[in-house]
Amino acid sequence: MSAPHVTPFPNKRASQVTENMQAIDVLPKLTDEVMARIEDVLQNKPQTAEDYR
């Protein structure tokens, strides 16, 4: 995941968990080139959170 602090799948039913887990099948298709093209279109990449520890 590109934003590990974000919960991408707020599931309410078991069927939603099953459906959302199928999204893992798309991961191999999300190459750096594809992600760059998506970012070029959306231009909404989240900023890295500051770590004040």
What is the per-residue pLDDT for 13? 84
What is the per-residue pLDDT for 53? 79
Look at residue 8 and give its three-state secondary structure: coil
What is the per-residue pLDDT for 8? 65
Residue 18 vs residues 2, 6, 21, 26, 42: alpha-carbon distances, Å: 21, 19, 5, 14, 28
Residues whose CB falls within 8 Å of the CB of residue 8, separated by 6 or more in sequence, listed in order: 1, 20
Question: CA geometry: angle at 17 spanning 12 and 23, to 5°?
Answer: 130
> At residue 40, what are phi and psi to the nearest 5 degrees?
-60, -35
Residue ranges of the chain whose pLDDT lies below 50:
none
Q: The whole model's pTM is what?
A: 0.51
What is the per-residue pLDDT for 4? 62
